């Protein structure tokens, strides 16, 4: 029996966590830019300060007192969405966005979030 890492290498796949993160980003992008028939306000709020470092599409993370809510899509994606590097990620349209998020080292970004 091969380890998970060896099976991923042989199949030329990324980890399940990274694949889920990419899908979350695509959904988040589609909601933020109105590409799906879902109301932005039902899921997100814009961050109150748009003149901070990073991209201008930062989202406000709503706080919750339960751990269950932390695993929901909205809470799962906001922290890492807000630290996407604007010099690498292209927000101009969906296709360049999908292409450029593949070039971001999310392992490093996930480690930053775990340290918070």
Write out pLDDT tens, residues 8-29.
999 999 888 888 889 999 999 9
Average pLDDT over residues 75-88: 88
Model confidence, pTM: 0.81
pLDDT on residue 115? 59
Q: What is the mean pLDDT of the chain?
A: 85
Binning pLDDT at 50, 70 and 90, where does residue 34 land? very high
Residues β-bridged to residue 46? 59
pLDDT on residue 51? 63
CA 35/CA 22 separation, integer angstroms:
17
């Amino acid at each position: 029996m091969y380890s998970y890492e060896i099976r991923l290498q042989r199949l030329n796949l990324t980890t399940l966590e990274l694949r889920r993160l990419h899908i979350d980003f695509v959904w988040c992008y589609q909601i933020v830019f109105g590409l799906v028939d879902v109301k932005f306000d039902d899921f997100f709020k814009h961050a109150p300060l748009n003149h901070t470092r990073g991209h201008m599409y930062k989202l406000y993370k709503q706080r919750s007192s339960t751990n269950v809510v932390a695993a929901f899509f909205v809470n799962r994606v906001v922290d890492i969405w807000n630290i996407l590097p604007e010099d690498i990620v292209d927000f101009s349209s969906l296709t360049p966005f999908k292409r450029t998020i593949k070039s971001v080292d999310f392992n490093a970004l996930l480690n930053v979030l775990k340290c918070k």
